[in-house]
Structures are given as C-alpha cells and as structure tokens.
Amino acid sequence: MRSLFDVPAPAKLNLFLHVTGRRPDGYHLLQSAFMLIDWHDTLHFETRSDGRISREDIGAVLPEADLIVRAARALQAFAKPAPGAHIVVEKRIPSQAGMGGGSSDAASCLLALNRLWGLNLPLSTLAGIGLKLGADVPFFLRGDNAWVQGVGEEMQALEIPSARFIVVKPAQGLDTKTVFSHPSLTRDSETATISGFAADPFGFGRNDLQAVAQSLCPGVDDALKWLHDKGLQGRMTGSGSAVFAPMRQTAGPTITSANWSDAPGDWQLRECVNLGVHPLVGWAPSDELSVGSF
C-alpha cells in the first residue's frame, strides 16, 4: 500500500528589506523581517517503489528540474536504496513575486519526504540541504517568523502581531538577480535593530529594492498607486513584483474584497492573514536549531 501526504507550502512577506552592504564575493548583506502568510501551495506526495522522482503540475507548469524535484533528489542521498516519490503540485503562490513560493515548496518537500520515507533527519541536516537549494529555504524549514540578516543565514525568531493584509501581484514578474545587480540599488542602509522594528512592525523601514523594481516593472508602481488610492500604505515584498499593505484604515473605509472591482483583470489579489508558525512545525526532529539561527 502506498503512503501519502498532502502538505501546505505557505508564502512569506518581507515587512522591510534593507541592503546594508556587499561582500567581496558579490553577495549582498541584508536585514529583513520574514512573515509567513496563509497564501499557500499544496503538495501531494505518494511513495514509489522504483526509486524515481516524478512530478505532476496542477495549474502553473513548473520547470522540469525545479526546486521541488531538486530537493527530493538531494534527500534521496540519505537513504539506501534510494526511495521514490510522485509529487503533485497545486501551485497558487505566484512566481517572480518576492513571496518565496519556490523556496517554500522545497522546504515542505524536504519535511514531507523526510517523514514519508522514515528518514527522521534533524532540522540541522535538512537546513544544510535547503541552503544549497536557496537562501530562503532554511527560513521555511525553521518555521518561525524571523528577523533575518547577513546573506540570509542569520535568523532570530520574531513574534509579530496578528493582522490582515491585501497582497497584490501585478501581471509582470521580476528576476531577483536583475534587481540586485542594478547599478542604482541602495547598498549602504544603516543597521536596524529588532527593538526599533518591534515598535512599529508594519510601518518600520522600507524595501531598498522597491525603487529599482518600480523602474524595471511598471506594474509595481501601478499596484502601489492602487493601494494608495484605497487609503493604504503599500510596500513591495522581497525583490517583487508583489506588493502588500496592512488592511487598517488610513483614509476612508478599510479595503475589502467588495471594492477590488477596479483592479486590472490580470492582477492576482488576495486577503491574507499572517501565521504565527509554519503549519509543518514539528515534522522534523528538533535539535540545536530549534532556537537561535541556522
């Protein structure tokens, strides 16, 4: 009989993102607050007896060797003989949005197959695999909202007040490398503190990538103006192109799904709530990574 799991892979929002420097190897030094939200993909896993990894896409078609497949194949190295799996992906998180969809999918894949295959690997091992796949994967494995710095490898758990958000993804996407390599990108923001963030978590700081993104992608500017016209203070998440705003009143009535009708038809909009922890917290054995940073 085949074993199977259905698991969520939640998106994240960057409540702020400051670029504080650049290392000699070209990697940027960052500070950010990562927050999980309830916009998620769903991954379905079934065991295979032939050792193969296969994937079926529902909705958006993913690249053949995407992060999910790469995560599964990397995990196979920890079992002999190599187990197999068939993975069905119901993709809802938009791509090239700055919402971490691909990294979240990879993390949920590692957590699910670690359990499905009975490997029982600790979080530290999964984090090592995840970091080779993408800088954001360890965040989703860890499972807490987090203060993130360095090149993304330093994390500290954050408690963030519960709130609702409107998240808008314009039709155009943005390539992360293109945004970070832009010559006009600000790379010398002052170092921020957690205490400063905690005093105003939804209004603190800015996204240093936003100005570059607006110059590259008119949809980012259009979405921010649309939110502003609704009386909301929007901000881009990650390297874009999605933008978001807390659904709190600044001028006029708070936005609801009833007054989305004037948004362009090719935008993706969703009301979201933030999550206190990842839905799969506890799916891998805890170790020294249960507190502190990866």
Q: What is the CATH number of domain 4-158?
A: 3.30.230.10
* Homologous superfamily of domain range 164-187+209-273: GHMP kinase, C-terminal domain (3.30.70.890)
* pLDDT for residue 3 is more than 80: no
> Which residues are catalytic, by number?
12, 136
Q: What is the pLDDT of residues 154-182, one digit of tens each?
A: 999 999 999 999 999 999 999 999 999 99
pLDDT at 260: 84
For the stretch 101-158, pLDDT in tens is 999 999 999 999 999 999 999 999 999 999 999 999 999 999 999 999 998 889 999 9
Q: Hunting for tokens 């970070």 — which residue is that?
A: 180
State the distance between the two ends of the chain, measured CA to CA, in whole angstroms.
Answer: 37
Name the residue ranges covered by the structural domains of the chain: 4-158, 164-187+209-273
What's the number of CA atoms in the CB half-sphere (13 Å) around residue 275?
21
Answer whether residue 196 shows pLDDT above 70. Answer: yes
pTM equals 0.93
User: Fold match between 4-158 and 164-187+209-273?
Assistant: no
Angle at which helices 123-133 and 101-116 cross, to 10° = 140
pLDDT surpassing 90 at residue 84:
yes
205 has a pLDDT exceeding 60: yes
Q: Is the model more confident about 288 or about 231?
A: 231
Q: Band the pLDDT of 26: cuts 50, 70, 90.
A: confident
Tokens representing residue 292 in the block: 């502190």
Residue 286: CB partners within 8 Å, gap ≥ 6?
A: 122, 123
**Which residues in 72-103 are b (16+ Cβ under 10 Å) and which e?**
bebbbebeeeebbbbbbbbbbbbebbbbbbbb
CB-CB contact of 150 with 22 (8 Å): no
Q: How far apart are CA 267 and CA 122, in angstroms?
A: 40
**How much is the pLDDT for 189?**
95
Furthest C-alpha separation in the chain: 62
Contacts of 262 (CB under 8 A, 6+ apart): 226
